[in-house]
Amino acid sequence: MGKKKRKENKSESATKEKNIFNRPIVKLGLVTFAVWQVILTIIVLVLVFIFVYNNFIKKENVDVKFYHFKKEGELTFTDSTGSPTVKINIEIADNDYERQLGLMNRRSMEEMQGMLFIFPQEEFQSFWMMNTLFSLDILFINSKKEIVTTHKNTKPLSELSYPSSKPAVYVLEMNAGFCDRHNVKLGDKVFWIGSKLSISN
């Protein structure tokens, strides 16, 4: 009887020892799994941040070059009788690059300023407001220097097309509301002189 009890005691102690050694291993495995979960979560968050930064935040922080008005001539509006009504300073866009750039990336323009676009030939023209930060009045002018189409109060930063209703060789852009404030209308004429080119009426 005594020997059997000793054996039982030995087996019980052996079982206890096994349990003692097994428990920490299980706990250690759970801790290791949890640590890896945290590490993977951090890696995923870092990757998401890099993606968002490169595709959104970084693009917004890119330095944009803003342009300023440069006087290159003066333009006079006349009514149907030929009487002068108002005069403005103009910047001239007479090559492909300047015509494509237009008034894009400008914060504002003064009331008595405008941009005159000069095209190689008279044809139907169409403008849009992409990257243009403020509203404009757009006037299309034919080879006789008559205003043939007007688009007033255009929408900034829009890809909407503003076409001429008749062929035009010149286009004039001014601040929105200019035509109404200075009574500029269809059929009026424009004449100008410029320092950039030998431009005259």
Q: What is the pLDDT of residue 94?
A: 95
Separation of alpha carbons 79 and 62, rounded Å: 46
Instruction: With a cut of 90, say whether residue 201 has pLDDT above it.
Output: no
* pLDDT 10s digits, 91-146: 999 999 999 999 999 999 999 999 999 999 999 999 999 999 999 999 999 999 99
Instruction: With a cut of 90, say whether residue 29 has pLDDT above it.
Output: no
Separation of alpha carbons 76 and 102, rounded Å: 20
- Give me the helices (H) in the chain, please: 2-52, 58-60, 96-101, 178-181
Candidate from 51-65, 87-101, 136-150 with smallest mean pLDDT: 51-65
Q: What's the pTM?
A: 0.67
- Give Cβ neighbours of residue 29 (< 8 Å, ≥ 6 apart): none
Nearest of 135, 175, 177 to residue 158 by alpha carbon: 135
Instruction: With a cut of 90, say whether residue 183 has pLDDT above it.
Output: yes
**Phi (first) and psi of residue 31, to 5 degrees:** -60, -45
